Structure 1
Amino acid sequence: MNFTNSKTLSSRPWSILAVVCVFVGCMGFQRSGKAASLRLGDMCRLKGQEINTLQGLGLVVGLRGTGDSDAAPTARALSRMMQLMGGPMALDSLGQLDLRDVGDAKNVAMVFVTARIPAVGSQNGDLLDVSVNAINAKSLEGGYLMMTPLLGPRADNPTVYAIAQGPMRLTLEGPATTATIQGGAKMEATVPAAFEQDGQITLILDRDFASFDNTQRIEDEVNGLLALTLGESGRFSNRYSSSAATQGGAQAIDQLHVRVQIPSLYRENPIKFISLLLNLQIQLASHSSRVVINEREGIVVIGKDVEVAPVLVTHRNLRIEAGGVGGLVGVNDKVSEKDTAKLKNLADALNALDVPTSDLIAIIKTLKRKGDLYGEVVFQ
């Protein structure tokens, strides 16, 4: 449904001040007897299956005079790399590397290098995409990343998980100081995605589904699954229901986490249990009494059960009356205070009169502030 219209009411050629009395009836939507459901695997992830970031400091060479200028850290890093590669480097009177040999290098830049390990983990030899960001250089165009060790997110762990190197490409929309290397990091260690700990798994809900109601629903559904066992026919049967409850169980920890004990029947094959678990259908809580407003994009999403009290809305040269039993009525007609109208119908009436979305949002805000809108209003 589109509430947006470029016309404004003031642009109409009104010969006299017209008073339009539009009555918004309380004819609602017919409720469906079947609640919406979603796979558990589409609502959550397993604890331990997170995206991890590797990071390191590296040197880029081959720039076109856009590298670091008069940067002592870059000069020291370049001198040290050349020394390790067997290059002849001069020493000062104290036996330290003489930075004057590389101090005028304009085609070299120190960069910050990152790579992301996917949620499923990574094996030794896997190739990961690399992101390169300049620290002081003006542009990384045409540069080549020298061999760079990538460490984990903790600075106190010196383990090298991957080695990054290769020619860089600038991003299309990004600045010239950011570049990427497709498959530029080779994993030197295996990083598994641990999903089980002490015979338990923990489900972490996506933020869009995080609520106490949903975690309690998941607990109930999972415990119902644990009370059933696959029979020979491939369908669920409850012949082991007397002991299944003691072999495992689910417990909602908060609005984000549900802890599940793996039943002893699946201890030797937890993957099969997780597969059954993540394919479980969860009945979702209804959000039909919610209004979501995105003012920046001019989008209004109205749930079917959002109602408004009997009110009279005055909008410029219009009067819109909501409430009653349906149909078009005069302004002075009596309307029962017990009757409510659907906000969706009120929006339809405003849309029919070419009321802009910004004005609809303002009316919804006013109704909510007055306490005449029965539902939750969410602003994005």
Structure 2
Amino acid sequence: MKSFCIRSNLRSLAARAVAAFIIALMSAHPSFASARIKDITKIEGVRDNQLIGYGLVVGLPGTGDRLQNAPFTERSLVSMLERLGVAITDEDMRTRNAAAVIVTANLPGFSRNGDRIDVSVSALGDARSLRGGTLLVTPLTGADGHVYAVAQGPLIISGYEAGGQAATTTKGVPTAARIPNGGTVERELAFPLNSLGFVRFILKNPDFVTARRIANAINQQLDGHFATSVDLATIEVQVPSAYHGQVTDFLAEIETIEVETDEVARVVVDENSGTIVIGSNVRISQVAVTQGAITIEVSETPLVSQPAPFSGGGGGRRGGGGGAETVVVPRTSVNVEEGNNGFQVLDAPVTLQDLVNALNALGVPPSDVIAILQTIKTAGALHAELIIQ
């Protein structure tokens, strides 16, 4: 007898364990948290700058650009060889060991001449793989057109491509690579930090309450009115006269001040992985929740039909003796059970812990929690921003 069961309420024990662990960590803390100013803000003007350049990768094992399909690679090779004193025409180029690439990098703030930075390399033509290649000297320019760094070095990639005439397998992206510390800073970005008369802190997660708390904490630390919350993301701080020309010391003093942060009530759901993150400020109005369960059981019980003794059949023989045969008669039974775990009433105001306890009482897996949260939001009972990725 064969039995096949399809259960809509099948639980993933691993997923439930992970979800319960995450929610337990969240509910173990109060609705507010203390953080240093340096961890939740950034200083206006202190940022990375994007660099870009065009270069050539050589030394590829026949996996580079096909020159007939990538004329820019061919012209770049001819131009490079001419600068090196090698005269060659386009008709003489037959190599597949080179590839044209785009090189990108981030130039951190306050970088100095000679500092090393990481660079990323991406194929521009039809190269199959950049594994084993070396990037030739490539100037990296900023948005203003000036060269700020130069990149060169062997490539490091995590992907590969292998195969034959009938099959090919690829893992990762073999046409993208990195060169750790492959760029050298050649031009500095001037930023007169110590000559500033005021400094602006930009909140990474803008919030009016947090901005006001930061301003109050700075004023209390400096024993005066020096900080003002301009908007939900900006706190402007006037540099005291005692710190004129020493803004670095001033920032070092106030960046370590701890502030209680506030946050918008938010629920983030990733439907692909079943991940659910619920903020501690989430509230729910009075609502009743039920979760149904359907069990469908399909059973196969084959029935063997044999001929009577001495009937001349049996064993599936054909012809003579009446022609009786042994046959297998299929027999299928389908049983459907529908039930639910009953309603769970959540009395207002409902906190995160109340919601977690109710869902755990229902034995709801993460996949069903997503549907429940969407339904509660549609009903207008979920007082939080629901973000579905």
Question: Normalising by the residue count of structure 2, what TM-score does the alignment of the two structures yield?
Answer: 0.69
- Contact 2:195 2:245 (C-alpha < 8 Å) held by counterparts: no
Equivalent of residue 148 in structure 2, options 132, 136, 161: 161
Report the AA paired with residue 78 of structure 1.
L
Deviations 1:299-343 (A, max 9, x none): 34445665544443343223224256xxxxxxxxxxxxxx65546
Deviations 1:132-160 (A, max 9, x none): 11111222122121111111133xx2x32
Q: 2:374 matched to 1:351? A: no
Equivalent residue for 1:42?
Answer: 39
The structure with the largest alpha-carbon Rg is 2
CA distance in 2, matches of 1:225, 1:362: 48
Equivalent residue for 2:197?
Answer: 199
Equivalent residue for 1:190?
Answer: 188
- Contact 2:51 2:142 (C-alpha < 8 Å) held by counterparts: yes
Equivalent of residue 122 in structure 1, options 75, 88, 111: 111
1:14-29 correspondence runs (5 A): none
- Contact 2:290 2:343 (C-alpha < 8 Å) held by counterparts: yes
Q: 2:213 matched to 1:217? A: yes
Question: Normalising by the residue count of structure 1, what TM-score does the alignment of the two structures yield?
Answer: 0.71
Equivalent of residue 122 in structure 2, options 116, 133, 138: 133
Q: 2:362 matched to 1:362? A: no
Deviations 1:182-233 (A, max 9, x none): 2222222223555466412221221xx2122222222222233332xxxxxx
Equivalent of residue 315 in structure 1, options 291, 294, 299: 291
Q: 2:134 matched to 1:144? A: yes
Report the AA paired with residue 252 of structure 2.
S
* CA 1:360–1:142: 2 relative to 1, 3 Å: closer
1:352 shift after superposition? 3.0
More strand by share: 2
- Contact 1:115 1:128 (C-alpha < 8 Å) held by counterparts: yes
SS of 2:342's partner is strand
1:1-380 correspondence runs (5 A): 9=9, 36-69=33-66, 70=68, 71-87=70-86, 89=87, 98-102=89-93, 104-119=94-109, 121-136=110-125, 137-154=127-144, 157=145, 159-172=146-159, 174-192=172-190, 195=193, 198-206=196-204, 209-227=205-223, 244-245=224-225, 249-285=226-262, 290-302=266-278, 306-316=282-292, 317-322=340-345, 340-342=349-351, 344-380=353-389
SS of 1:170's partner is coil
Count of matched residue pairs: 308
- Contact 1:308 1:342 (C-alpha < 8 Å) held by counterparts: yes
SS of 1:146's partner is strand
Report the AA paired with residue 84 of structure 1.
R
CA distance in 2, matches of 1:56, 1:31: 48
CA distance in 1, matches of 2:147, 2:208: 41
1:363 shift after superposition? 2.5
The Cα RMSD (Å) is 3.1
Deviations 1:53-77 (A, max 9, x none): 2221111111222222223222222
CA distance in 2, matches of 1:303, 1:110: 47
Where structure 2 has 5 or more consecutive residues not aligned to the other structure, the ranges are: 1-6, 12-26, 160-170, 293-339
Deviations 1:121-179 (A, max 9, x none): 3211122222111111222122121111111133xx2x322222122222356411112
- Contact 2:346 2:355 (C-alpha < 8 Å) held by counterparts: no
* CA 1:304–1:142: 2 relative to 1, 3 Å: closer
Report the AA paired with residue 204 of structure 1.
I
Identity %: 37
* CA 1:369–1:99: 2 relative to 1, 3 Å: same
- Contact 2:119 2:178 (C-alpha < 8 Å) held by counterparts: yes
CA distance in 2, matches of 1:221, 1:304: 24
Q: Which has the higher contact order (CA 8 A, sep 6+)?
A: 1
Where structure 1 has 5 or more consecutive residues not aligned to the other structure, the ranges are: 1-6, 12-28, 91-97, 228-243, 325-338
* CA 1:375–1:140: 2 relative to 1, 3 Å: closer
SS of 1:169's partner is coil
- Contact 1:68 1:74 (C-alpha < 8 Å) held by counterparts: yes
* CA 1:132–1:377: 2 relative to 1, 3 Å: closer
